[in-house]
Amino acid sequence: ADRSSSYFVVAVVRRDSSYAFTLDELRGKRSCHSGFGSPAGWDVPVGALIQRGFIRPQHCDILTAVSEFFNASCVPVNNPKSYPSSLCALCVGDEQGRNKCVGNSQERYYGDSGAFRCLVENAGDVAFVKHTTVFDNTN
């Protein structure tokens, strides 16, 4: 089987031990996601947190449940205006501060590299990305 397109989804945190926490201590943390609906940045981590009972959506409203679980997030999306505001709270937009939280590269925290940047720049406490992201963005 061709495994070149396979990847693991990981939750990346800073090494500083004062920030060390486990999966069940994610509540109230600041989260960085590659984008809404992306497998590594949204579907897998949010699905895992729901499956384990950490996030309990009411009336299938996953967006609100996630916005209440994390203290603040950056989850870039195609139409951020219809979104719980805390899911865009950590996003930074482009160099001029425009296009905040948009689901494309105009948002500097978009994509796996962007979510990793969100963590590295201390905007978030955890980034949900593909396992290759750290190696792709460090030297």
Q: Are 15 and 126 in contact (CB under 8 A)?
A: no
pTM over 0.85: yes
pLDDT band at 24 (very low <50, low <70, confident <90, very high): confident
CATH number of 9-16+24-136: 3.40.190.10
Report, as an integer, the average pLDDT of 26-35: 96
User: Is 2 a residue whose pLDDT tops 60?
Assistant: no
Looking at every residue in the chain, the average pLDDT score rounds to 92
Higher pLDDT, 34 or 1: 34
From the centroid of its chain, how far is CA 45? 9
Higher pLDDT, 86 or 80: 86
Q: Where are the domains of the chain?
A: 9-16+24-136
